[in-house]
Amino acid sequence: MLATMPSARRSSASFLAGIAATLVGFLLVPLLVANAPLEKTMGVVQKIFYFHVPCAWLLMLSTFVCAGGSLAYLFAGSERGDRLALCSAELGVLFGLCVMVTGPLWARAAWGVFWTWDVRLTSSLMLWLMLIAYRLARRYGGAGGRRLAAAMALFAAADVPLVYLSVNFWRGLHPNTKTVSSLAPGMRLPFFTSLLIFSALWGVLLALRMRVERAHSRLAELAIAVEDAEEESL
Amino acid sequence: MARRSWISQAACIAWKDLHIEGRSREVLYTMGFMAALVVLVFSFAFISGQETTVGPDAVAGILWVAVLFSGTVALSRTFDRERESEAIRSLLLSPVPRSAIYAGKLVATAAIMFLVELLLAPLLAALFSAGIMPHVLWLGLLLLLGTIGFCSVGVIFSAALLRARSRDALLGALLFPIVIPVLLAASRATAYLLDPTAPDLDPALFWTRFLAALDVVFVVVGLWSFEPVVMGE
């Protein structure tokens, strides 16, 4: 217990720094986005881009972090990896929900429909479904649920490029695959700041969620220890 | 006794499963019946009035949805038999690499599913007047590749769900999001093969290759992750 104290203090410091950065960002980004130049054809509607794209990036990041954690859990028995996988999958579901809400809103304004079977829409949807399935496996999978979920995460990570490729071939190429690199100079600063701040938020939420999960497993260990001690004293 | 090779160990396990299935024919009958019912449900849903057929896209879709749904029945039974009298313990304790167990189970399940599909395709051709004959061997290859892709993921999940209470409800829900690329590639290729007006078969060839590549990826991930997944049993 005592041995874990310094690292706990260190993680608290970086955690507070993360919270501070996120708070500053949440004051800064709206200003930057409000002052960003208007897009020629879409006008103010395009501003959802500063919210939508970072969420999509975090959905992707969550999937790979989840797979990385699952890999550590499955092949090295790392409990920490397992917690990391669980927490990042949850965040993936959360940010995926943001993608699935903001995407159709933007699509309705830009293309006149809520949904098209475009490659990025479809592959984000598939990614999101896989993370939801991961949560289902964790929750209802019974005794083997953790291992099952970890295997799912590995398959999901292997699936990411395959889903993207297959949907791409299925629907034909997306016309604007170079959106970010072709951003107008005035849009770059707000976009990348937003991306950074959203990533910081993701990190803060992940750290918070992992603390809760760590406390959970510590509590379970203590409960077992108390039970054992009681049994011994009887 | 001389140590058997990995392949013959896997073949032994596959043979054991096929032998049991040959005696009981339980999976064959339930899965076959389920597949036929799925096709019938689609017939009632899609065909109206004097029509006798639906487009090749729809026929391909119906075929693969029937394979997926009925395949879930077969998969949930793959490891079910091992629960009886805790047979799974002896299987995992036997001096056989876990990857050979995976390969054996994969071969046995895929073989049973493939057998059902061989009956399913003519049924579909009869009900929807779909022209399966011009490319019948190619179609058979597609069915085989699609089934391997589906089972390579399914066998792992089925093994991990061995002790879960809501096993049957979960298997499909967890499996389908992962195998979507398999379904997509297989049904696209099938649609091109069934389409008599298709100008050329290049897309079908492309999707068949893509499906084969998917199989390789899934089987490799499966062979690799089976051991840690069943370790806790």
Q: Taking the CB of residue A227, how many other CB atoms lie within 10 A of it?
A: 10
Find the DSSP H helices in A77-118.
79-111
The pLDDT of residue B153 is above 90: yes
Query: Which of A11-15, A166-170, A198-202, B163-167 has the highest average model confidence (pLDDT)?
Result: A198-202
Give the pLDDT confidence score for residue A2 in this predicted structure.
41
Q: Based on the structure, what is the number of domains in chain A?
A: 1
State the pLDDT at residue B2: 56
Contact A151 B185 (CB under 8 A): no
State the Cα–Cα distance between residues A58 and A56, nearest whole angstrom.
Answer: 5
Q: Domain residues for A138?
A: 16-172+184-233
- Name the DSSP letter for residue B77: H
Per-residue pLDDT band at A43 (split at 50, 70, 90):
confident
Confidence (pLDDT) at A37: 76
User: Of B188 and A183, which is predicted with more confidence?
Assistant: B188
Q: Which helix (H) or strand (E) segment is A195 a member of?
A: helix A185-233
Q: Are A52 and A110 in contact (CB under 8 A)?
A: no
Q: What is the pLDDT of residues A131-178, one digit of tens each?
A: 999 999 998 887 788 899 999 999 999 888 888 887 777 775 444 445
User: Quick check: is A177 in a domain?
Assistant: no
CA B149/CA B183 separation, integer angstroms: 9
Neighbours of B35 (CB within 10 A): 27
Residues A13-41: tens digit of each pLDDT = 777 888 888 888 888 888 887 777 777 66
| Nearest C-alpha in A relative to B231 | A147
Is the pLDDT at A5 greater than 50, yes or no? no
Instruction: Quickly state the pLDDT bin for A3 (edges 50, 70, 90).
Output: very low
| Average pLDDT of every residue of chain B | 88
With respect to residue A105, please indicate whether it lies within any of the assigned structural domains.
yes
pLDDT at A185 exceeding the cut of 70: yes
What are A43's strand-pairing partners?
A39
The interface pTM score, or ipTM, of the predicted complex is 0.86
Q: Where are the alpha helices (DSSP H) in B94-166?
A: 98-128, 136-160
A221 phi and psi angles, rounded to 5 deg: -60, -45
pLDDT for the residue numbered A6 = 53
Residue A89 counted as domain residue = yes
- Maximum CA pair distance of chain A? 78
**Do B181 and B214 meet the contact criterion of CB atoms below 8 Å apart?**
yes
Distance of CA A46 to the CA centre of its chain: 23
- Measured CB to CB, residues of chain A less than 8 Å from chain B are 74-75, 126, 129-130, 132-133, 136-137, 140-145, 147-148, 150-152, 154-156, 158-159, 162-163, 165-167, 169-170
User: Does A155 contact B221 at a Cβ distance shorter than 8 Å?
Assistant: yes
Nearest CA-CA distance, residue B173 and chain A, Å: 7
Q: Percent of chain B at pLDDT above 90?
A: 49
Give DSSP secondary structure letters for A9-75: HHHHHHHHHHHHHHHHHHHHHHHHHHHSPPBTTTBGGGGGHHHHHHHHHHHHHHHHHHHHHHHHHHH
